[in-house]
A and B are shown apart, each in its own frame.
Chain A
Amino acid sequence: MKCNRLVDVGRRQFLRGGLVATAGAAAATVVGTGQAQAQTALALVDYPANRLANIADLAVNEPMDIGYPDADSPGILIKLGQAVEGGVGPDGDIVAYSVLCPHKGWLLSYNAGDKTLNCPGHHSRFDCESGGQQIWGHATQNLPQFKLRVEDNGDIYADGVDELIFGRLSNVLA
């Protein structure tokens, strides 16, 4: 099989340091005498705010491996070189995506030629320049994108996900 991937995601190590989830602990059930009390749970998934990198760490069109919301959820952070909708940073071109294919959870590989993420298993592909839109494939959702913000010192934080990540029924594991 011809292989022109820049990043072999199948063999890489995920970043682990500094990526401990900061989600609040689930409220404990308090059982009164003879009557159960309702749990106090939040309506939405409470996403951790994790520092992924500093802008200075990124080179154009060279994806950086990340994990978000935790180390078991691999993704990439990439500076595309051209502003895109939803992109952050001074050039509006920094985005981050899950790289677990939402079809069957295979690891996607990045093709720098056309800035796409491609699945070696069943050939689905996703456009990093269009919000992770599935260009063609079998998944029934577009690629989960990580919501980013950039601090004044150039630190890039992720603090949200817009689709369900493959392999977990809650984006933040509990």
Chain B
Amino acid sequence: MAFKRQVGRLPIIPADAQEFNVTCHYCIVGCGYKAYTWPMNRQGGTAPEQNKFGVDLSEQQVMDTEAWYAPSMYNVVRQNGRDVQLVVKPDVNCSVNSGLGSIRGARMAENRPSRVTGTQAQRLSDPLVWRNGVWQPTSWEDALDLVARVTARVVTEGSEDDLVVSMFDHGGSAGGYENTWGTGKLYFESMKIKNCRIHNRPAYNSEVHSSRDMGVDELNYAYKDYTLTDTIFMLGANSMETQTNLYLNHMVPGLQGGAKMVVVDPRRTLTIASSEQYAGPENVLHLAIKEGTDLALCNAILTEIVDKGWIDAEFIAASTFPEGVAVAEDEAHPASLGSLEHAMTACRLSLDEAAEICGVPAADIAKAAEWIAKPKDDGSRRKCVTCYEKGIIWGNDNYRTIGAIVNIALATGNIGREGGGVCRLGGHQEGYYRPGDAHVGRPAEYVDQFLIRGLGGVHHIWACDHYKTTLNASEFKRVHKRRSDMVKDAIDAAAGGTREQVVDAIVSAINAGGLFVVDVDIIHSQIGQNAHVILPACEANEMNLTSMNGERRLRLSEKYMDPWGNSKPDALIAAGVAQSMERVLREMGMYAYADQFKGYDWATEEDAFMDGYNKGNPEVTYERLRAMGNNGVQEPVVGFENGQLVGTERLYTDGRFTRHGREDGKALFCAAGWRGWQAPGKAREQAAHRFWINNVRANIFWQNQFLDQKNDFVQDRYPHPFVEMHPDDMVELGLNPGDLLEIINDNGVTQGMAYPMPTLKRNTVAMVFGSPAGSQGNVVNPGVNELVLPDYKHCWGDIRKISNATAQTAGISFKSHEVVL
């Protein structure tokens, strides 16, 4: 029976409630919300003058009304030490979402920690130190002292290369300009840490190297381009699920205004199904390619466009590299870059060749090329906006495939113009501001393998849970646990000793192959089970936080509640680590090194913002951003006039491309030749197993469910990770809906719940990514590209039933997700 909150009435927001700007801290779209808070002993009334909306709430409100909020948008939280009532609801005046809430963001209030309502009691409130076999709560001073003493010993007895760091690089959530600066200053300025990785991939690298090398920043358009365009070209993305209000509020109006849509995806996604409803099936072309063949498809589309003369010759002449090779293929460049003519020597692929490789009709590929580039009957050029995400970024041959996509946009002049753009759709918001990372190198160290090989002695982890979100996860977990257990055992054996004796014991264990683990997070995560020190962080709105969205829209999401317990912003935790390092190093007599850890005297997150982002962008301050509200300003900010920050609607409108740093301002084409499976082991695995295990997202979950794992509404819907299968495959394997199954291959095993999905191809399954109850990464092999980008998407395995449906799984709905109107 479906979960119900049994709420028949909610307190009304009084007319004088405090109001705060909130940017949803989940996906990259960054929908605008408003938070309202008011004292526990007050409430608004139904009369217009008694409530925030100024309307008569004793009447039924109409559809799309602003004057309603769901129980998930209400909570009781702490503000300046007092309990207050809170509503967080979508903002109708934000141009990003125009009042639409998503199933993720519209639960922000409910997903706040509350002592009164008991929500999110899993949040960490105090630093924890491994002591006598348990994680014991302690003071910041005690916890940071242990972190600094062990870290200082290891990096001075060995080198900074012995400190391994996993750290988020994103905006929103616990990221943002404040926190990426805090961590960045610690690890890239005070230290020069080389062995680091990002939250979702096993190295410290870009996900879109080739786009940047070609001169094209990956976020170059405005969301309004989707409404101004003639064609939306989407690859490896499913925006209805994952960038919901970008789809509903920008793409759908485009489709309803007559735009066509081309979607490249092996799977019939909900985006395709909904687009058919909104635009009519005749205006939606689904290229259901064989997995991993996007590159061949794009090359054939480009070839068709070139051969038909649909290129934008004027744009190419003015804005792209004129002749030959500009950058040769080498260890750091998995393809050469240069002129269109040069690129075509590698990219040329006929429609028939591509049809054979991709498993789709040649006529459909030709039709895609037509919809993307064929000039209109009156001779005017066709506008096309191109977007891609994890199906490409985490797909086969990342560098060349993204290069091939950008090639099409460049050849058709669809960058820097209305209705154009070639952009990643994104996961989290962006919020990267750090000192230079050139010392990391390119290719960067494959950090997971570095740890698996027994290297590194200290592991600092910032809001990353590799247990759920890395590849080759089975082996990674096995080794990480073994190495960290060595240190736990050493600490247990040194029980009763002084701090000095305990640190000696830890360092001895490290020297014997152990790993000392410090985990900074908002919850006790799965990888946190291996930690020796756990430091509690807070999130957006428990602190002020700045981030930008997928059209570079920068907002200040305001603090409206206190951090939970004694948790702190990551930026201030990083400052605490730095200050402790300085003190300990000074005690050790290493004065020069200690001096490198000066400069962290920040009292608030705003101090960190001013120390970092503001230094590079002196126009931008909290006060000015607050005044810009939920519509903020699109980066780069170029001035401050008439009391407003002046931004940039879209990049490259002058036809000069700069992301690669070339002074000539010319974009480069990518010689993205097709070469089959790029990553090691993929072809062999494909041949050895029946099912392709596609890892997919669902709109209901945010990322690895770190908060949603304790949200009843969410867990009621999917008590186990779903594994969608074709019903005929289920019958063959003796699986009923809700039965538990495991997926097996040479890399490991994972588990989930069978969910019939008749629109899937046979012998493929779609398993939700990053679930705490079944990590898809367990069965993904360690294969990466030349620049250490993981190919999470390509994994094959066999499936075995482990149990009949449980009491929990038997009661849920197993109907198809596609709307039937």
Q: Do A and B bind each other?
A: yes
Q: Which residues does A use to contact B, with CB under 8 Å?
A: 1-5, 44-45, 47, 72-73, 85-86, 100, 102-107, 109, 111, 113-114, 116, 118-125, 127, 129-145, 161-164, 166-174
Distance from B199 Cβ to chain A, minimum over Cβ atoms (Å): 26
Q: Cβ of A131 and Cβ of B277 under 8 Å apart?
A: no
Distance from A68 Cβ to chain B, minimum over Cβ atoms (Å): 12
Contact of A116 among B46, B61, B717, B820 (CB under 8 A): B820
Minimum CB distance partner of A73 in chain B: B60
SS class of chain B's interface: helix, strand, loop or mixed? loop
CA distance A9 to B818 in the complex (A): 20
Contact of A167 among B7, B9, B62, B100 (CB under 8 A): B62
Q: Cβ of B101 and Cβ of A140 under 8 Å apart?
A: yes
Distance from B70 Cβ to chain A, minimum over Cβ atoms (Å): 5
Which residues on the A side are within 8 Å of B713 (C-beta)?
Answer: 140-142
Which residues on the A side are within 8 Å of B451 (C-beta)?
Answer: none
Q: Cβ of A114 and Cβ of B820 under 8 Å apart?
A: yes
Contact of B107 among A124, A140, A161, A162 (CB under 8 A): A140
CA distance A143 to B3 in the complex (A): 10
Q: Does B1 contact A (CB under 8 A)?
A: yes
Q: Cβ of B57 and Cβ of A103 under 8 Å apart?
A: no
Listed residue (B100, B270, B713, B815) with the most chain A CB atoms within 10 angstroms of its CB: B815
CA distance A149 to B679 in the complex (A): 62
Distance from B27 Cβ to chain A, minimum over Cβ atoms (Å): 13
Minimum CB distance partner of B245 in chain A: A138
CA distance A124 to B103 in the complex (A): 10
Contact of A169 among B10, B717, B813, B819 (CB under 8 A): B10
Q: Cβ of A104 and Cβ of B100 under 8 Å apart?
A: yes
Minimum CB distance partner of A142 in chain B: B2
> Could you write out 26 A-B pairs with CB less than 8 Å apart?
A1-B277, A72-B60, A85-B811, A105-B62, A105-B64, A118-B820, A122-B248, A123-B240, A125-B820, A134-B717, A136-B270, A136-B817, A138-B106, A140-B73, A141-B5, A142-B4, A164-B7, A164-B9, A166-B63, A167-B65, A167-B68, A168-B68, A169-B10, A169-B12, A171-B8, A173-B60
Q: Cβ of A129 and Cβ of B813 under 8 Å apart?
A: yes
- Which range holds the interface residue count of chain B? 35 or more
CA distance A152 to B110 in the complex (A): 42
Q: Does B812 contact A (CB under 8 A)?
A: yes
Which residues on the A side are within 8 Å of B3 (C-beta)?
Answer: 133, 142
Q: Cβ of A173 and Cβ of B274 under 8 Å apart?
A: no
Q: Cβ of A164 and Cβ of B63 under 8 Å apart?
A: no
Q: Cβ of B60 and Cβ of A123 under 8 Å apart?
A: no
Contact of B103 among A116, A131, A137, A166 (CB under 8 A): A137
Q: Cβ of B813 and Cβ of A133 under 8 Å apart?
A: yes
Listed residue (A107, A109, A138, A172) with the most chain B CB atoms within 10 angstroms of its CB: A138
Q: Cβ of A4 and Cβ of B820 under 8 Å apart?
A: yes
Q: Cβ of B60 and Cβ of A145 under 8 Å apart?
A: no
Q: Does B72 contact A (CB under 8 A)?
A: yes
Q: Cβ of B248 and Cβ of A173 under 8 Å apart?
A: no
Given contacts A114-B816, A116-B820, A138-B103, 14 further A-B contacts (CB under 8 A): A45-B8, A86-B1, A105-B64, A111-B821, A113-B820, A114-B820, A123-B274, A130-B2, A136-B699, A138-B699, A139-B70, A140-B101, A140-B106, A141-B713
Minimum CB distance partner of B72 in chain A: A140
CA distance A107 to B821 in the complex (A): 12
Q: Cβ of A103 and Cβ of B101 under 8 Å apart?
A: yes
Which residues on the B side are within 8 Å of A134 (C-beta)?
Answer: 2, 717
Contact of A168 among B61, B72, B103, B819 (CB under 8 A): B61
Q: Cβ of A105 and Cβ of B57 under 8 Å apart?
A: no
Q: Cβ of B57 and Cβ of A169 under 8 Å apart?
A: yes
Q: Cβ of A85 and Cβ of B248 under 8 Å apart?
A: no
Contact of A173 among B59, B63, B816, B820 (CB under 8 A): B59
Distance from A91 Cβ to chain B, minimum over Cβ atoms (Å): 18
CA distance A143 to B1 in the complex (A): 12
CA distance A137 to B100 in the complex (A): 13
CA distance A85 to B2 in the complex (A): 10
Q: Cβ of A3 and Cβ of B58 under 8 Å apart?
A: no
Distance from B522 Cβ to chain A, minimum over Cβ atoms (Å): 21
Q: Cβ of A3 and Cβ of B821 under 8 Å apart?
A: yes
Distance from B576 Cβ to chain A, minimum over Cβ atoms (Å): 36
Q: Does B634 contact A (CB under 8 A)?
A: no
Contact of B63 among A125, A167, A172 (CB under 8 A): A167
Q: Cβ of B813 and Cβ of A127 under 8 Å apart?
A: yes
CA distance A119 to B816 in the complex (A): 14
Q: Does B102 contact A (CB under 8 A)?
A: yes
Q: Does B783 contact A (CB under 8 A)?
A: no
Q: Cβ of B819 and Cβ of A125 under 8 Å apart?
A: yes
Distance from B107 Cβ to chain A, minimum over Cβ atoms (Å): 5
Q: Cβ of B277 and Cβ of A145 under 8 Å apart?
A: no
Q: Cβ of A120 and Cβ of B821 under 8 Å apart?
A: yes
Q: B24-64 vs A: 1/0 string, CB under 8 Å?
A: 00000000000000000000001000000000011111111
Which residues on the A side are within 8 Å of B107 (C-beta)?
Answer: 140
Q: Cβ of B9 and Cβ of A135 under 8 Å apart?
A: no
Q: Cβ of A162 and Cβ of B274 under 8 Å apart?
A: no
Which residues on the A side are within 8 Å of B274 (C-beta)?
Answer: 123
Which residues on the B side are within 8 Å of A72 (C-beta)?
Answer: 59-60
Which residues on the A side are within 8 Å of B815 (C-beta)?
Answer: 114, 116, 125, 127, 135
Which residues on the A side are within 8 Å of B8 (C-beta)?
Answer: 44-45, 47, 161, 164, 170-172
Q: Cβ of A174 and Cβ of B2 under 8 Å apart?
A: no
Which residues on the A side are within 8 Å of B10 (C-beta)?
Answer: 164, 169-170
CA distance A45 to B277 in the complex (A): 39
Listed residue (B10, B46, B70, B100) with the most chain A CB atoms within 10 angstroms of its CB: B70
| Segment 87-102 of B: residues with Cβ below 8 Å from A | 100-102
Distance from B810 Cβ to chain A, minimum over Cβ atoms (Å): 11
Contact (A135, B73) CB under 8 Å given A140-B107, A171-B8, A173-B59: no
Which residues on the B side are within 8 Å of A102 (C-beta)?
Answer: 70
Which residues on the A side are within 8 Å of B101 (C-beta)?
Answer: 103, 138, 140
Q: Does B244 contact A (CB under 8 A)?
A: yes
Q: Cβ of B70 and Cβ of A105 under 8 Å apart?
A: no
Distance from B100 Cβ to chain A, minimum over Cβ atoms (Å): 7
Contact (A106, B63) CB under 8 Å given A136-B270, A141-B713, A142-B4: yes
CA distance A164 to B277 in the complex (A): 29
Contact of B821 among A1, A162, A164, A170 (CB under 8 A): A1
Which residues on the B side are within 8 Å of A164 (C-beta)?
Answer: 5, 7-10, 70-71
Q: Cβ of A169 and Cβ of B9 under 8 Å apart?
A: yes
CA distance A64 to B333 in the complex (A): 65
Which residues on the A side are within 8 Å of B380 (C-beta)?
Answer: none
Which residues on the A side are within 8 Å of B60 (C-beta)?
Answer: 72-73, 167-168, 173
Which residues on the B side are within 8 Å of A135 (C-beta)?
Answer: 813, 815-817
Listed residue (A5, A125, A174) with the most chain B CB atoms within 10 angstroms of its CB: A125
Q: Which 8 A-B pairs have the closest CB atoms?
A: A131-B2, A45-B8, A133-B2, A105-B63, A140-B72, A72-B60, A127-B813, A167-B61
Q: Does B6 contact A (CB under 8 A)?
A: yes
Contact of A131 among B1, B64, B71 (CB under 8 A): B1
CA distance A132 to B4 in the complex (A): 10
Distance from A16 Cβ to chain B, minimum over Cβ atoms (Å): 14
Contact of B68 among A44, A142, A144, A166 (CB under 8 A): A166
CA distance A85 to B68 in the complex (A): 30
Q: Cβ of B819 and Cβ of A163 under 8 Å apart?
A: no
CA distance A52 to B60 in the complex (A): 20
Contact (A105, B821) CB under 8 Å given A116-B815, A133-B812, A141-B713: no
